[in-house]
Amino acid sequence: MAPKGGTACFLLIVGCGALAAPPQNGCDFKDVAEKMMRKCQNKGYDAPDMMQLGTIFNYSDFPMAERNSERSGSLVSSVLNVLYSVTPDEVNETVRIHTHTHSQILQPPLIQKNKTWNLKNLPDVLRLMENSSVASACYIQAFVAPLCWKTLTTRNDDNMTADEYDALLRAAKPALQNMPFTGTDLPTDVGRGPNLEEIMEMLLEVYDASSEDQRTQVVRWVKEQITQKYFNCTTRPPSDPRSMPMESCELSVKWLNSEALTMMGPYVSRLATEDVNSSPDKQLCGFFHSAKFQHTMSSISNINPSLGRTFLQKFQECFRGEQEFAENVDKLGILACYYSPAADLSPDISGRLLSELNTCDEFSNPKITKLKKRLVKSVMSNTNATEAVGRLGRSVALLSPKQLSEIPDKQLKEFLKNMGLDVQWTRGQQRAVVTKLLCSECADVPVEELVDLQSVAGVLPSRLLKRVKSIPPQNEGLRNLTMRMKKAQLVAVLQGLLGEMVPSELVQKLSGPLLRRLPLNQLEEANISSFSSLDTVASKVWSMPQAAFLAKQMHEQKKFRWRPYSFLQGVTCEMIDKVADNDTQDMAQAVTETSQLLSKGQAGCAARKLFATKEKERADYFKTITQEEMNNISTYLLLHLPPMKVRNLPASVCPAFLDKMREADLSSLPQRSPSRPALTQRALRCLVEAPGVSGPSAADVRRLGPLLCELPPFQLLAVAPEVLNASLRQMAACQHIPRGHTADTIQLVTQTFGDPSYWSAETMEAVGPLLLLDDNATSGLPYKSWMKDVLYSLKSGMPHPSNALRRKLFDLITDTTPNAGVASSDDKEITVDLIEELGKDNVYWTHTQLAGMSNETFLTALETLGAVSDYRADQLAVLSKRATEAFGPVSQMTESEVMQMGCITRGFSNADLQRFPFSLDALEEIAKCGWNDSQMQPVWRGVSAHNNLTAQHLGAVEMVALSRFICGLSSTELQQLNVDAFKDAVGSMDGVQCSSEVTQQMRRIAVSAFGKPDSWTEARVSELGNIIAGLNSTELASLDPAVFSFISTFSVPLIQHLDALSVVQVEALGPDNAAMVTSEQRASLSEEQLAALERAETGSPDQTQRSGQSGTPSLSVEGISAFVKPFLLLLTGFLLL
């Protein structure tokens, strides 16, 4: 142990090493320091001056003229070096001179020379820092924290007392919240036992902000620390450069005891099931019965089904039977999501379990809802409607519409007010609540009362919303009220408010969905340029048409500022190109901070402008770029670096480059961009060129981040088996795998993990997403007890589950004879429980099965069946017949019954459609049901008759409420539409898709309202949506090239005259729109137009040669050689493993 006060010398010696050592797998402390200092800068804090720095580091005797070479190695110099790279314009002249004079402070020779520095111990530094101004402390902490963490991760505690180690931990804590740490960034050896607990306490504080992969790395690190210290073995594979010189641990090593479980807290959600299974029962039961268990399980928001079930089973074994276990269900937390009680529970226990199941709401597993309803039934068996609200809590939302109508008004209103938007209701429940609580005969309802109904706002009648004349004192209430409203409802509220307020007042007072529905013509009247301050306007969240309007107006009036405002989504490439060189960095930072709003084309334009500005500083900027310069370019823009420049990046920037690639989001880069393979190739070369690397480890592969998803599978064949295994597990999280790689990737998965028929649940969870890329493999999955839950879990993370996966789940749910395989089940009884569990997947019932459903089941589950939008004609024929049998002929059906039927109404004849009592407020919902063009006019006839509507009297609310059914108006009726109402409505009709004939007629209305197309702006084109597809060839060719990237992506496939565009116009489509061009449209284009389309789709303006259409960028022979070369080099090393 070092003597008391030894921290000073120890910290500085190690700190010097940290400053000198080039980062390999871990984070560079200087990068983290710069990131944290930028946060201080963004908060408006001024950089500290020399006196402040000298006070904190006990360096008040810091006269510039008296420094010698020994003194130049101080921490103050290092702080200044980082500080100046972040705030070059803010540090004073003294600081700037000092930083320039000692810029070589971070070079190894100078650091190695200075082994001892005169500095107080760390606790004193921390105390002085805490007593400094907030601004100064922020910058100093930004330097001290990552340096202390680097010290902890590169040295053991042999030279420190316990107090000194604690001081290091306390100082390092802020760094963890600002670094993408992995297992390689955690201490190799924590030394004393208490140190592990202390570090875990710190890691628990960043649990919520960490990724799933980071959490897994923490668990593996804890296991390695425990096995090394107590079992004298290592869990790391031999290929891992951090492997200790000791034997490998047995798979069954019993390292997981109650102390480790308690120490890890919610990180236990990333344990391997074999670790839990091998843990002694006594240890697990000790954890289960501890006070920490309930808190731990309640802190976990997600856990894999296999681990959840294993924990639950082990927990149950700690009790003397089902009844004793049931008494403890209120301690289960996340584990309750996997509990299926065999017998009915008492009302009291059912209520306690219901509270635990609230954790499972986001799991998208219909089995949970089924269990909740069963528990609600149990609770209600021992209570009445008056007591239900208090007993059920949030589970009141599981009561039937009839049960809701029996709850006293006062209690129901109080429940809605308290729960706000936290409760999800079905349409039927919403209608029951609104019918009960709203006065049907009242002309007006105070807006404050409507705000209390925010969770059921989706069914509030538009006629009532038109009468909203004021904004409640709490503006947040109106925003919440509108969060779940449909388009027509929002337009209705706006119409009411516009009757009492001028647009300029609304613009300043509104926010949220309501503001984003304000039409452009009203935004123009607001005359925003006359506002005394534009800050309140600029900081609001705008729709795309609004953003384009604001960006153009501010730019033309010289009021545009590059700040992270939502209207940046409306900037054009021309605006970006005109940015002055000295403002380019502000532009780059602003677009980076609003990256989620910008298109791929806008990102590419911003990147090209930044790169061009950099190359004005140095012609060979990217050939000679430094680490610091690399760090100053955001990852978001760096991804767009042209392939040649990527290939020429110097090896010295590899650490920074790999750190950026690890955290990269490739969604901003066109899928066929040539930069994708170039970035992947350069990352591989960086791994190969790293000193001392004989072959990539699993940690190296993690450094590739999403670039791993771009690798051709054959290149993974060269790595060590454990690295291949880890690579495929990492690839399971890929958001995109090139289409050309899919088959080979799946083959590699089956070669590595074996036949999927014999996979365990853990393997399916780990690499199942890759297997599910193949429909045949998905359909061939076996019937296993755990399969359904695992597939539900995997499906919940997919934005668009495949038809094969939906069908497989249907088969697993409905087939009760798994040993018989997939057999015909037309005689399978359809129950309400099955229908509710299947949800949208009820589409897979055969028409014979649907015909055999009982009338009671049909009526009880009607709303669920009516929500399915993609029924076949034979299914609709059966369901519409069932509806007639249940309700009588169409002429006798009520508006409420028709609303329950939903998409089933599509199965009726055109004659019946004209007689349906369609509610105008219900049309926006059923418009998504897959209607054909021939049904538009009959529905319009039925709607107009039932609601007493005529074309010439349609207002903006009615036009929007009609949704797609406005396509049913005749050409004469379309000509009768009120132009002013159309102006207010068209921005909210953006998703309406009519036949080409009707779209052309609607184009005439747009011309009458907004003038000839050659005068349409980016904002106007964006607002008009699919109406753009109705332009004839002359009108389309007359559009300004700048507007083409603002055409809705959904409109592009509908354009019939794409061949009328010039080469410049085609290229102006941008990557997003170019990718939507259909094969039929491509067939009509000339070679020049196709070349322009290729440049647009790949985001490569300088590209002159078309590449293949496989969905992945093609490489030249030279590119392929360079791409394969890194792995050819690696293969030599791998053959020696």
Q: Which long-range contacts (CB under 8 A, 24 or more apart) does 1080-1085 make?
A: 1081/1053, 1081/1055, 1084/1058, 1084/1059, 1085/1058, 1085/1059
Both structure tokens of 1107: 């590449």
Give the pLDDT of residue 100.
45
Burial status of residue 266 (CB atoms within 10 A of its CB: 0-12, 13-18, 19 or more): buried
Other CB atoms within 10 A of residue 891 CB: 9
pLDDT digits (tens, 9 = 90+) for 1067-1082: 999 999 999 999 999 9
Give the pLDDT of residue 755.
95
Both structure tokens of 757: 């028929």
- For the cut 80, the answer to whether the pLDDT of residue 29 exceeds it is no
Q: How far apart are CA 20 and CA 107, in angstroms?
A: 6
At residue 320's C-alpha, the angle toward residues 318 and 324, to 5°, is 95
Other CB atoms within 10 A of residue 205 CB: 11
Coil/strand/helix, residue 371:
helix
Burial status of residue 141 (CB atoms within 10 A of its CB: 0-12, 13-18, 19 or more): buried
- For the cut 80, the answer to whether the pLDDT of residue 695 exceeds it is no
Of 468-472, 618-622, 663-667, least confident by mean pLDDT is 468-472
Mean pLDDT of 607-614: 97
Residue type, 665: D
Give the helix, strand, coil percentages of the chain, each rounded to 5.
65, 0, 35
The CA–CA distances, whole Å, from 1136 to 237, 690, 692, 723, 840 equal 15, 19, 15, 15, 54
Mean pLDDT of 506-526: 93
pLDDT digits (tens, 9 = 90+) for 959-975: 999 999 999 999 999 99
Residue type, 1023: E
Both structure tokens of 244: 């200790």
| Burial per residue of 364-393, b for 16 or more beta-carbon CB atoms within 10 angstroms, e otherwise | ebbbbbebbbbbbebbbeeeebeebbebbb
Using pLDDT thresholds of 50, 70 and 90, give the confidence band for residue 206. confident
Q: How far apart are CA 382 and CA 438, in angstroms?
A: 30
Residue type, 387: E
Mean pLDDT of all residues belonging to the chain = 84
Q: Which residue has the higher pLDDT, 1058 or 719?
A: 1058
Using pLDDT thresholds of 50, 70 and 90, give the confidence band for residue 808. very high
Q: How far apart are CA 268 and CA 224, in angstroms?
A: 15
7 membership: H or E segment, kind and range: helix 7-20
Mean pLDDT of 354-382: 86
- For the cut 80, the answer to whether the pLDDT of residue 1120 exceeds it is no
According to DSSP, the residues that pair with 999 across neighbouring strands are: none
Give the pLDDT of residue 709.
94
Burial status of residue 691 (CB atoms within 10 A of its CB: 0-12, 13-18, 19 or more): exposed
- For the cut 50, the answer to whether the pLDDT of residue 1 exceeds it is no
Q: How far apart are CA 246 and CA 216, in angstroms?
A: 23
pLDDT digits (tens, 9 = 90+) for 287-311: 999 888 999 999 998 899 999 999 9
- For the cut 80, the answer to whether the pLDDT of residue 58 exceeds it is no
Both structure tokens of 533: 């301050």
Q: Which residue has the higher pLDDT, 1047 or 12?
A: 1047
List helix spans (H) across 852-935.
Answer: 855-860, 862-866, 873-887, 895-901, 910-913, 923-926
- For the cut 80, the answer to whether the pLDDT of residue 275 exceeds it is yes
Both structure tokens of 620: 């060979």
| Burial per residue of 4-16, b for 16 or more beta-carbon CB atoms within 10 angstroms, e otherwise | eeebbbbbbbbbb
Ramachandran bin of 420, using left for φ above 0, alpha for ψ from -120 to 50, beta for the remaining angles? left
The CA–CA distances, whole Å, from 1063 to 25, 718, 1079, 1093, 1106 equal 47, 44, 18, 8, 14
Single out the residue of 612, 623, 725 nearest to residue 682, CA to CA: 623
Count helices and strands in the chain by DSSP H and E runs = 67, 0
Q: How far apart are CA 344 and CA 342, in angstroms?
A: 7
Q: How far apart are CA 516 and CA 987, in angstroms?
A: 10
Coil/strand/helix, residue 612:
helix
Using pLDDT thresholds of 50, 70 and 90, give the confidence band for residue 130. low
Give the relative orientation of helices 93-101 and 75-86 as an angle to the nearest 10 degrees. 110
pLDDT digits (tens, 9 = 90+) for 476-510: 888 889 999 999 999 999 999 999 999 999 998 89
Both structure tokens of 108: 């190894």
Give CA 777 to chain center in angstroms.
Answer: 27
Single out the residue of 1056, 1066, 1058 nearest to residue 999, CA to CA: 1056
Using pLDDT thresholds of 50, 70 and 90, give the confidence band for residue 367. confident
Both structure tokens of 201: 């306490």
pLDDT digits (tens, 9 = 90+) for 161-190: 777 777 778 888 888 777 766 655 788 777
Give CA 216 to chain center in angstroms.
Answer: 20
408 contacts 444 by C-beta, under 8 angstroms: no
Residue type, 111: I
The alpha carbon dihedral of 764, 767, 773, 777 has a sign of negative
Give the pLDDT of residue 361.
65
HSE-CB at 364 with a 13 A cutoff on CA atoms is 12
Q: How far apart are CA 353 and CA 368, in angstroms?
A: 11
Percent of the chain with pLDDT over 90: 58
Give the pLDDT of residue 609.
97
Other CB atoms within 10 A of residue 800 CB: 5
112 contacts 14 by C-beta, under 8 angstroms: no
The CA–CA distances, whole Å, from 327 to 292, 341, 348, 381 equal 18, 12, 10, 19
Q: How far apart are CA 389 and CA 407, in angstroms?
A: 8
Both structure tokens of 826: 């037309």
Of 756-765, 1034-1043, 1123-1132, least confident by mean pLDDT is 1123-1132
Of 351-355, 559-563, 871-875, least confident by mean pLDDT is 559-563
List helix spans (H) across 205-331.
Answer: 212-231, 258-264, 273-278, 281-288, 291-298, 305-316, 322-326
Q: How far apart are CA 864 and CA 866, in angstroms?
A: 5
The alpha carbon dihedral of 110, 113, 115, 116 has a sign of negative
- 320 contact partners, CB below 8 Å, separation of at least 6: none
At residue 845's C-alpha, the angle toward residues 840 and 851, to 5°, is 120
Q: How far apart are CA 904 and CA 927, in angstroms?
A: 12
109 membership: H or E segment, kind and range: helix 108-113
Q: Which residue has the higher pLDDT, 195 or 1042?
A: 1042
- For the cut 50, the answer to whether the pLDDT of residue 1105 exceeds it is no
- 264 contact partners, CB below 8 Å, separation of at least 6: 200, 218, 219, 222
DSSP 774: S
List helix spans (H) across 599-713.
Answer: 600-617, 627-631, 635-638, 643-647, 654-662, 675-689, 698-703
Coil/strand/helix, residue 180:
coil
- For the cut 60, the answer to whether the pLDDT of residue 1026 exceeds it is yes
Give the pLDDT of residue 243.
64
- For the cut 80, the answer to whether the pLDDT of residue 690 exceeds it is no
Give the pLDDT of residue 175.
81
